[in-house]
Amino acid sequence: ETALGILYAADVQSRERRRVARRAGCEHLHARAAQIDAIARDVDVEEELPQIESANFWSQLREVEALRQSSGSVWRFVLPAGHWVALVHDLQAAKVDDYFVDWGGGLVWALAPPEQTLDGHRIAERHGAIAWRVATSPDDPNELGMPSLEPGLKRLNQRLRTACDPGGILNPGRSGL
């Protein structure tokens, strides 16, 4: 069985990482650099990216570009890391086949097909997660974007919003208010 993974290491040689860590007096960084070196020895490196390409790769990964370039609704689920497998099974059962797992399972991005209305909040609730639907454009009202608040929290949120934005000009209609 082949495992696919990404190992991030700074774009400097390990000897240089250790020298910089020692000079900065950061022994925990020195230990971390040694751990990365040990892992890297046991891994076949398929491709090593130059610094600019590496920065672009990590930026695209962070911004979930692969999902955002497709049509459909992008959902973000934040959950206890041990629950991601069950959440992905529920997404697959809901015919969501495009997803991305990050933060060791604590963050799952999913792309619902354009013809489907995904109830991401209900799925999230079953797994102790919180879900947000990402707006598709600045004009998207994104009514499903935020999880619904309990009545008491909604009133508190409204009072905070009124106190901080009495003119109601900051994100009107967003955050469930």
Least confident of 9-23, 85-99, 106-120, 155-169: 9-23
> Would the pLDDT of 55 be above 80?
yes
- Is residue 21 pLDDT above 50, yes or no? no
Determine the pLDDT at residue 29.
57
Q: What is the pLDDT of residue 79?
A: 94
Task: Average the pLDDT over 52-63 and give the result.
Answer: 82
What secondary structure, in 3-state letters, does 20-55 show? HHHHCCCHHHHHHHHHHHHHHHCCCCCCCCCHHHHH
Report how far residue 9's alpha carbon sits from residue 59's, in angstroms, rounded to the nearest whole number. Answer: 15
pLDDT at 128: 93
Here the tokens at position 161 are 């919003």
Q: What is the pLDDT of residue 146?
A: 77
Contact 108, 135 (CB under 8 A): no
Judged against a pLDDT cut of 70, whether residue 156 lies above it is answered with yes
